[in-house]
Copies of this chain bind each other. A is one copy, B any other.
Amino acid sequence: MTERLVVIGGDAGGMGAAGQVRRRRPDMEIVALEKGRWTSYSACGIPYHVAGDVASLEDLVARTPQEFRQQRIDMRVGHEVTDVDLDTRQVAVRDHEHQRTYRLAFDQVLFGTGARPRRPDLPGIDADHIHGVQTLDDASRLMAAIERRPPHHVVVVGGGYIGLEMAEAFTKRDAQVTVVEAGRQVMGTLDPEMGAMVAAAMVRHGIDVRTGTRVTGFEADVVHTDAGPLPADLVVLGLGVTPNAELAEAAGLELGAGGAIRVDRRQAASAEGTWAAGDCAESFHRVLRRPVHIALGTVANKQSRVAGINIAGGYAAFPGVLGTAVSRLCDTEVARTGLTEAEAVAAGIGHVAATIESTTRAGYFPGTKPLTVKVVCERGTGRLLGAQIVGQEGAAKRIDVLATAIWTELSAGELIDVDLSYAPPFSPVWDPVAVAAREVAKLV
C-alpha cells in the first residue's frame, strides 16, 4: 500500500518538508491540512502590507494551494485537524467549508502547526478591535477592520520586533501610535542601551513609547493601563507567541522548551513516525547548549527541510540556532545574534563586552552612516557569544558575519584577522565587525 504522510499546517514548518518528500519519494502520498485559507506565506511581510509598501496580501504568498497540487501534494485549505490518534494512526479533520468531519489514516505525521500571539488574560481581551499578527488570516481580518474604520489611535501592546514594525506601519497610515511595554525597554531581545537607540528612533518618528507601563484591560476605544487610560480604536498584540502544541500534546507527544514540541536533531518528535518543525517545535541553541523556543521564519524553513529529508528516508540533522534576527524600524536598522550581555549573565557565562561606533562606508564616502556594534565574548577564552548592531542604512546585515563567526566558535581575537571585504562604498578599511572584535579582544 502507498505510504502516506500527513502534514498539519500549510506554512513554512510543514511545506518545506512536503516539497523535500515529493522530490525524494515520488511514490509517497502527501496530504497537507491547513485550517486557514493561505499556504506558504511570508508573515514577516504583514507590517509592510499594512504600511502600504506591499500592495496585496497575495504578494506575500510564496506558493498557492493550486501550485502545491500541481506538485502532487494534496493541499486542503479550510481543513482543521482536531485530533491525532497515534494508536490507530489517524487524524480527525474538520472541513469547515462543507461542515463535515472525516478521519484520515497516516503512516507518518508532521506537525507544522506554528504559533499564535500571546493574549494576556485581561478584561476585554477578546474584543474585535484587538488584533494578533501571526497569520495571513490575522492580516486579512486586520485589513478589513482598517478599511471599515481607519484607526486614529492605535495602541501596540508589547515592544518586540513585530509590535514595533506594526507601530511604524500605522504611522504611515497617519494614526497616532502608542507602544505600551511592561518592561523597562522596548526590544527586550537587545541590551538596554542598544534598545534605547531604537526607542529614540521611534520617538523621533512620532511614536509614543511608554515603557514600564502595564496594560490592565481593554474597552471599546480605550486601553487601560496602570498609568491611566489610552485612546485606542485598534489594538495590536506584540507580546510574542505561544507554540501551537496542544494537538501534539493531546496525542501524547512530549513537550519541551517553552512548551514547544520536543524534537531531536532530525526533527523527530517523541513517538515513532511523528515529526515537528517550525514555530511549534523547539530548537537547540548553539551557545546556550540547550533547547529553546524561537519562532522565526528562517528556523522554520531550515527545520522543515531537515524533517523532509528524514521523512523521505534520508539523513539530515538540524544543527541549531543562534537567535539571529534583524529588523528595520523607523529608518533604523537593528540586528542581533547569539547572547546579549544580559543573556550571558542569566546563563552564568563569564563574559566581557565592548561597544564601538563606526560607519557603514569609508568615513569620507558620500552616504556613509553611523552604526554601533556591540560584541559579547566569553571571559578567558574569548569565544564569541553574541553581537548586536544598531545603525542606519547598510548597517544590520553585517550581523551575518558575526553569526557565522559565533556558529564556528571563533574567538574575538581570531575574528580580527578574517579576510573581510573592503572598498570605500561598502565599509571602512577595518570593517566595523573587526573593529568591535579588536576592542573586545583587549578585555578577554
User: Known contacts A59-B364, A362-B45: does B404 contact A408 (CB below 8 Å)?
Assistant: yes
Q: Which of B60, B337, B418 contacts A364 (CB 8 A)?
A: B60
A145-163: CB near B (< 8 Å → 1, else 0) gives 0000000000000000000
A53 within 8 Å of B (CB atoms): yes
Contact of B59 with A296 in the complex, beta carbons under 8 Å: no
A420 within 8 Å of B (CB atoms): yes
A378-404: CB near B (< 8 Å → 1, else 0) gives 000000000000000010111111011
A345 within 8 Å of B (CB atoms): no
User: Known contacts A365-B53, A397-B398: does B419 contact A403 (CB below 8 Å)?
Assistant: yes
Contact of A302 with B417 in the complex, beta carbons under 8 Å: yes
Neighbouring B residues of A60 by C-beta, 8 Å:
364
Contact of A424 with B44 in the complex, beta carbons under 8 Å: yes
> Which residues of A, 1-55, contact B by the 8 Å Cβ criterion?
12, 42, 44-45, 48, 53-54
- The CA of A406 and the CA of B318, in the complex, are separated in Å by 21
- The CA of A302 and the CA of B306, in the complex, are separated in Å by 40
Q: Which of B42, B421, B429 contacts A397 (CB 8 A)?
A: B421
| Copies of this chain, count | 2
A326 within 8 Å of B (CB atoms): yes
Neighbouring B residues of A328 by C-beta, 8 Å:
423, 425-426
Residue of B nearest to A58 (CB): B364
Neighbouring B residues of A431 by C-beta, 8 Å:
400
Neighbouring B residues of A301 by C-beta, 8 Å:
429-430
10 contacts between A and B (CB under 8 A): A42-B362, A45-B424, A48-B365, A48-B424, A322-B419, A325-B421, A326-B423, A326-B426, A337-B419, A407-B418
10 A-B pairs with the lowest CB-CB distances in the bound complex, closest first = A326-B421, A408-B408, A59-B364, A322-B419, A404-B404, A324-B419, A328-B425, A298-B422, A400-B420, A400-B401
Q: Which residues of A come within 8 Å of B, CB atoms?
A: 12, 42, 44-45, 48, 53-54, 59-60, 286, 296-299, 301-302, 306, 318-328, 335, 337, 362, 364-366, 394, 396-401, 403-405, 407-408, 410, 414, 416-427, 429-431, 433
